[in-house]
Amino acid sequence: MKKYLVSTVAAAALLFGAATAMAQDVDPNAKQGGEIVITYKDDVATLDPAIGYDWQNWSMIKSLFDGLMDYKPGTTELVPDLAESYEISPDGTTFTFKLRKGVKFHNGREMTAEDVKYSIDRVVNPTTQSPGQGFFASIKGYEEAAAGKADGLSGITVVDPLTIKFELTRPDATFLHVMAINFSHVVPKEEVEKWGADFGKHPVGTGAFKLGEWTLGQRLVFERNADYWHKGLPHLDKITFEIGQEPIVALLRLQKGEIDVPGDGIPPAKFQEVMNDPEQKARVVEGGQLHTGYVTMNVNIPPFDNVKVRQAVNMAINKDRIVQLINNRAVPANQPLPPSMPGYAKDYKGYPYDPAKAKELLAEAGHADGFTTDLYVMNTDPNPRIAQGIQQDLAAIGIKANIQALAQANVIAAGGEKEGAPMIWSGGMAWIADFPDPSNFYGPILGCGGAVPGGWNWSWYCNEDLDKKAAEADSIVDPAKQEERNKMWSDIYVKIMEDAPWAPVFNEQRFTLKSARMGGDDSLYVDPVHIPINYDNVYVKDVQ
């Protein structure tokens, strides 16, 4: 008899029954019913889970659709979602999921394993032009499917209507996270075929909410899915998203009681004012984000090919002052990973702010008189300001950095060229994790795979050794060995800091301001995976 690795959560489910596992998620204080209003400035791009990839629609899609896995609300802990349970083979290459019975799409039809296969095949299919295609690279048959040569992934097998099996080409420790991100969410084939490219404006899923109304440029309305498989959720009956609202207007309306959460956050100019008012401050929830803001240095362009120069830059930046420029809404960073990410090296000290030592290093590298270079930045506020702050710090050690403030796409294009941009301030394009796993900060932005034309590894840093170690760490699938894996990743990032292709500057904090009537645990309002709030689990206190 083969032995299978069984996840601890699945074991708990088996022991205590699936019903109990679900009940854990539902807040006993929550009231059923009520409506809330959330404001945004920008139009929502699309609600197609295969395509939507910006911070605004990411959580909205999570409420309209579900995937095999999800995260415990307010945490980064993986739990089964549409899957009732799962099993992983001892070699970590086969994942078998048992699906819940009776899950219905918003159009009434029951979901089956066929739908899961269809959804993932769709994302990998090149004609969908999905930005999430690359996440499924570890599944067997990916190469052929991604090139359009095969009609689907051969590694996905529908065993029976409620069981689906994934075979990978290598053990992949991030696979469960991949089953939780939006690109894996399940879509109904008939609706996709009916709407074609407009499915993003007419989404139909299995999620807690369904799309009620969408008036382009003005408003979207989510309505409670009464047949949602997860009993007791969602708590709210309706969510109205009002579009085109400037953050300052949103704040004023919140103060007048017209809206519940400003989706774009507290405007910088009002931040101090809000925090100084005890009544408003009590309604602000602060949390970390899986975000790091950093300066990349292109190792192909001298003098950044000299590690001493890069280390000097790390020591030249006055991170406290930069944080001051953004009203202290961030914490200084000393490594690529943000503090709330597993694998964060708590004891690592990083490079201190020491301009004198920085100048010494520059002299050792042969640039005692400094040099001239370019600092690329995105031209929307506050990034040019932050870039100017960095510019001044660099000038203090003799580096004259000319600022090139361009549109986002232009900076990305420059970064993707081998000798395009010597330095880039990542603000506005900074890496926010796709999922809460340390490997997510490596591949595209620090690994050799990203150091290609058009890639996102703007420092063009390529360390074959570290790539090998990264692959090794990612093959540790056994849940019991996760501590070991995280330690491996910590080591990798510390080694990267020794080479200093980046100068990490700060990790942005999140501040969510809510109206007094909103209820639910604070963690739901700074949920690391749902921005700005976890729509499914919050409730309002003033329901009749």
Partner 1 sequence: MTNPTVPDLASPALSAGSQPPAKPRPGVLRRLVKRRLAVLGLVIIAITVLGAIFAPWLTAFGPDEQLFDGLTLSGEPLPPNVTYWLGSDLLGRDLLTRILYGARTSLFIGVVANGTALVIGTLIGVTAGYLRGWIGGALMRFTDLMMAFPALLLAICLAAVFEPSLWIVALVIALVNWVQTARVMFTQTSSLVEREFIAAERTIGASGARILFKHILPHLVPTIIVWGTLGISTTVLLEATLSYLGIGVQPPTPSWGNIIFENQTYFQAAPWLVFFPGIAILALALAFNLVGDALRDILDPTQRGRE
Partner 2 sequence: MIAYLGRRIVQSVLILLGISIITFALLYLLPADPVRQIAGRSATPATVESIRRQLGLDQPFLVQYGRYLANLLHGDLGRSYIQRSEVSQLIISRLPATLLLMVGAIVCELLIGLTMGLVAAVRRGSRTDNSLMVASFVGVSAPQFVVGLLLLYVFAVRLSWFPIGGYGTFRHLVLPSLTVGIMGAGWYARMMRSSMVDVLHQDYIRTARAKGLGRLKVLLGHALPNAILPIVAMVGIDIGILMGGIVVVESVFGWPGIGQLVWQAIQRVDIPIIMGVTLVSALAIVLGNLLADLIAPFIDPRIKLR
| Interaction site with partner 1 (CB under 8 A) | 248, 267-273, 321, 324-328, 379-382, 384-385, 388-389, 391-392, 403-407, 410
- Which one of residues 158, 221, 248, 284 is an interface residue with partner 2 (CB under 8 A)? 248
Nearest to 285 by CA among 533, 67, 517: 533
Mark residues 171-190: x for contact with partner 2 by CB under 8 A, - for none.
--------------------
Tokens of 475: 């093959």
DSSP 3-state of 135? helix
- Cβ 482 to partner 2 shortest distance, Å: 23
Query: Residue 277, interface with partner 2 (CB under 8 A)?
Result: no
Q: Which helix (H) or strand (E) holds 504?
A: strand 502-513
> In sequence order, what are the residues at sequence separation of 6 or more whose Cβ sits closer than 8 angstroms to the Cβ of residue 359?
312, 397, 398
Q: Which stretch binds partner 2 (CB under 8 A): 47-55, 109-117, 330-338, 530-538?
A: 47-55
Among 49, 80, 141, 200, binds partner 2 (CB under 8 A): 200
Element (H, E) at 83: strand 83-88
State the binding partner of 254 from partner 1, partner 2, none, CB within 5 to 8 A by kind. none
8 A C-beta contact, residue 313 and residue 422? no
Rounded distance, CA 406 to CA 419, Å?
17
Q: Which residue has the tokens 């991949």?
A: 178
Q: Which does 342 bind (CB under 5 to 8 A by kind): partner 2, partner 1, none?
A: none
Q: How many CB atoms are located within 10 Å of the residue 42 CB? A: 12
Among partner 2, partner 1, none, the one that 244 touches (CB under a kind-dependent 5 to 8 A) is partner 2
Residue 430 engages partner 2 in binding (rule: CB under 8 A): no
Pick what 327 binds: partner 1, partner 2, none; C-beta below 5 to 8 Å, kind-dependent: partner 1
Closest distance between partner 2 and the C-beta of residue 427, in Å? 14
Q: Three-state DSSP class for 283?
A: coil
- Asked if 377 contacts 387 with a C-beta cutoff of 8 angstroms, the reply is yes
Query: For the window 53-72, what string marks contact with partner 2 as x by the rule CB under 8 A?
Result: x-------------------
Listed in order, strand segments (DSSP E) in 197-347 are: 209-215, 219-224, 238-242, 261-262, 284-288, 291-297, 330-332
Q: Is 241 in the site for partner 2 (CB under 8 A)?
A: no
Closest CA to 290 of 431, 456, 450, 177: 431
- Please identify, using beta-carbon distances, which residue of 130 and 334 lies nearer to partner 2: 130
Q: Binding string, 100-139, against partner 2, x = CB under 8 A?
A: --------------------------xx-xxxxxxx-x--
Helices 355-364 and 307-316 pack at an angle, to 10 degrees, of 170
Which residues here bind partner 2, judged by CB under 8 A?
A: 41-43, 45-46, 48, 51, 53, 126-127, 129-135, 137, 146-148, 197-198, 200-201, 215-218, 243-246, 248-249, 252, 380, 407-410, 412-414, 416, 434, 443-445, 452-454, 456
